[in-house]
Amino acid sequence: MRKCGDALLEARFGQPFRNVERSGRYPLVASTVFLTTNMPTVYVTRTVRFNAAHRLHNPNKSDEWNRQTFGKCNNPNWHGHNFTLDVTVAGEPNPDTGFVIDLAELKRIIEEKIVSKVDHANLNLDVDFLQGIMPSTENFAIAVWKELEHALPAGRLHTVRIRETENNVVEYRGE
């Protein structure tokens, strides 16, 4: 489990705080970070819903392989899902606003970067950030992460969660 302050030191040195603490190579910085570890990290989630069509088909494999691997999802004439997308942003509340990120702003960004492109669209054909990507829910989540990762005005992207059906959920955390 990551603790507050880890991310700050990781950003500076590319290694977790606990390693720095153990090695004692950066005692001055470590003590500075220690003072910031009381800042609470809060996770804020915005949920959006959209409908889209797709087809799972690997053109490098035979039709038979695709049928056996993907079943109904390989249907040549597409199929649709009612998708739910949860975007979680982590950070410390801004002392002036109390917000990790303004949820109205997060809503606007998700709408512009994702929903406006995928809603009532064909994920195989219509979406610029999915070109050349087989739109499994896993690959879709990674692509959504890449679109949002550097678009946030505050906080840091923590989780992209896509629910394809009531029972099938995929999460990507940038790892």
Dihedral angle, C-alpha 72, 78, 81, 83, nearest 10 °: 120
Please tell me which residue in 54, 81, 147, 164 is annotated as part of the active site. 164
73 given a catalytic annotation = yes
> Minimum distance between the CB of residue 42 and Ni ion, rounded to whole angstroms?
34
Nearer to Ni ion, 7 or 73 (CB): 73
> Minimum distance between the CB of residue 53 and Ni ion, rounded to whole angstroms?
9
d(CA 65, CA 60) in angstroms, rounded, equals 10
d(CA 80, CA 164) in angstroms, rounded, equals 10
4 given a catalytic annotation = no
Nearer to Ni ion, 23 or 51 (CB): 51
d(CA 173, CA 159) in angstroms, rounded, equals 5
Nearer to Ni ion, 140 or 172 (CB): 140
Q: Which residue lies nearest Ni ion, judged by its C-beta?
A: 73
111 given a catalytic annotation = no
Nearer to Ni ion, 106 or 130 (CB): 130
> Minimum distance between the CB of residue 57 and Ni ion, rounded to whole angstroms?
11
**Interaction site with Ni ion (CB under 5 A):** 73
> Minimum distance between the CB of residue 135 and Ni ion, rounded to whole angstroms?
8
Please count the other Cβ atoms lying within 10 Å of the Cβ belonging to residue 39. 13
Please tell me which residue in 73, 105, 138, 171 is annotated as part of the active site. 73
**Catalytic residue numbers, as ranges:** 73, 120, 164
